[in-house]
Amino acid sequence: MQHKCPQLFQAINPFVTYTPMNCLLQAASPYGDLEEVLARAATADRTVIMTQINAAWTKPGSLLDLFFESFRTGEGGVARLLDHLVIVTMDPAAYAGCQLVHPHCYFLRTTGVDYRGEKFFMSKDYLEMMWGRNKFQQTILQLGYNFLFTDVDVMWFRDPFKHISMGADIAISSDVFMGDPYSLGNFPNGGFLFVRSCNKTIEFYRHWQAGRYRFFGKHEQDVFNLIKHEMTDRLGVAIQFLDTTYISGFCQLSRDLNKICTLHANCCVGLGAKLHDLRNVLDVWRNYTAAPVPDKRAGKFQWKVPGICIH
């Protein structure tokens, strides 16, 4: 471990200067080593699923509990994908909570922001969190791992990997899906994002990070939307926008419970609103999975709408 320091840790957290001494302390930390966590969780083709949480999301009955429940009540063996999930925690309390419920936890150390509480959309701390997440994703690619990043407010009902094209370098969920998965006219949502590790995607992320300063004050999803044409032309990156029939969200809701794989509480601001509507979503899903097959095929089950955000 010592021979890779400080380069590896500097990549993980560029805001800290690592000396040989504090690198040794970092390597001996009880919070675990990133490469070791990734190696344990990865599939045979070096793919990991990742989510990111803070202490506010690990409290009993909060988003992490709902996230896990969606896997465990899902169909087609989706629960097995939890074996490949890395939970990236933003504060010590979240890390401790993660270790109680999951084997693959990583504590991402940051400076300057208290990540324990809820971060409100487009606040300074929210932007720091989103751009920090983006930089960490770049690190995963540089370490040679593909990843599927999922926000913790995404419910997983079926395996979504079957809807990710083998030809896509990047597959991203859609706030609004226009019908053509390779049309750059679709509106992306970075809360569900698959990226293959290769030179093209690492370079894409370098330009994406640079866009933080080029388009100052924008969050990472808006910058993705602003650079997508330029980067596909320059780098030849193939971007797939995922069909909301299968990879859905509150912005453009899939009504077909026989097809839906994931459901994201996007277009929804505030932890309380997300929890309210996602609990209703899981109530409907449990009734659906318990029903006879003919009732499922007949389309008798619909989401409870309107909710606070879902409609």
Please say if the pLDDT value at position 4 is more than 80.
no
pLDDT tens digits for 234-278?
A: 999 999 999 999 999 999 999 999 999 999 999 999 999 999 999
Q: Where is pLDDT greater, at 255 or 211?
A: 255
Long-range contacts of 96-102 (CB under 8 A, 24+ apart): 97/55, 97/58, 97/59, 97/64, 98/53, 98/58, 98/64, 101/64, 101/68
Please say if the pLDDT value at position 69 is more than 50.
yes
How much is the pLDDT for 110?
73
How much is the pLDDT for 123?
62
* Contact of 49 with 67, CB cutoff 8 Å: no
The band of 117, judged by pLDDT with boundaries at 50, 70 and 90, is: low
Q: Where are the alpha helices (DSSP H) in 88-163?
A: 92-101, 124-142
The band of 20, judged by pLDDT with boundaries at 50, 70 and 90, is: very low
> Mean pLDDT across the stretch 101-123?
72
Please say if the pLDDT value at position 212 is more than 60.
yes
- Which domains does the chain carry? 33-271 (3.90.550.10)
Token output for 301: 């089950």
* Segment of 58-62, 113-117, 164-168 carrying the highest mean pLDDT: 164-168
Please say if the pLDDT value at position 28 is more than 60.
no
* Strand runs labelled E in 103-238: 105-107, 146-150, 154-156, 170-176, 187-195
How much is the pLDDT for 215?
87
DSSP string, 246-284: TEEETTB----TTT--EEE--S--SHHHHHHHHHHHHHH
**Sign, Cα dihedral of 223, 227, 229, 232:** negative
**Residue labelled with tokens 């970092």:** 26
Q: Where is pLDDT greater, at 215 or 50?
A: 50
Token output for 259: 């097809």
Please say if the pLDDT value at position 42 is more than 80.
yes
Q: What average pLDDT is seen over the chain?
A: 87
Q: For the CA atoms of 168, 170, 173, 175, what is the dihedral angle to 10 degrees?
A: -110
Please say if the pLDDT value at position 40 is more than 80.
yes
From the number of C-beta atoms within 10 Å of its C-beta (0-12, 13-18, 19+), residue 167 rates as exposed
